[in-house]
Amino acid sequence: MDNQQATDAELGWLAGIIDGEGYLGMSVEAEHNYREGHQTRQHSIKIEIKVTNCDPAIVVRTAEIMQKLGVNPYIRQPAMPKNTNHNVYFEASIKRMAPVKRILDAVLPYLVGSKLERASIILQFIQLRTDNPGVANPAYADNAKGRRGPRTIKPYSEVELALADRCRALQSRKGASETTRATGAATLQTMKDRMARLRETS
């Protein structure tokens, strides 16, 4: 990557493509893990940035700017169902916390509305997960045999779960539209206030 640095224009472009053509959010999946009582099923919270577009040049440009930030996104052309009239599309995605944080830290000043709020929530979540020291896996107690998973696990805190709920609410159509309307109303009021002050000083 030759240690290239992303310019302000490139960061603005990346933020715009994430805002307009991208997915930024959290999902809940199920995976095998160990909890108190030796239950082996636990929900897992995943984070992701994904840009999808029918124009491969846009996805390539997205990946190029991400690479300048030291992040290598996963690029793929998802398989389309047979006998479908949908356009072929391409996507670049990132799912690990460290690279997601690196991208969000870079584009945060350029995001607006719901995506800005989601990015802030995800960054808070990542910081909490990073600071979480974890606890000893109870499956290793009493010299238990068989599949036991990692020696240290990180149960989600109430704050982490609340952040995930807030982010997922914003990802829904209702949550996103309400946030957009609220942001638009606040911006309009700010503009009105500034115009009133200008009239008073003129």
This prediction's pTM? 0.74
What pLDDT shows up at residue 177?
A: 41
Q: What are phi and psi of 48, to 5 degrees?
A: -160, 140
Query: Domains plus CATH for the chain?
Result: 8-171 (3.10.28.10)
Better-predicted residue by pLDDT, 29 or 36: 29
What pLDDT, in 10s, does the model give residues 79-112? 665 666 667 788 999 999 999 999 999 999 999 9
C-alpha R_g of the chain: 21
What pLDDT shows up at residue 175?
A: 41
For 149-165, the DSSP string reads --SEE-PPPHHHHHHHH
Alpha-carbon distance of 4 to 2, in angstroms, equals 5
Better-predicted residue by pLDDT, 88 or 31: 88
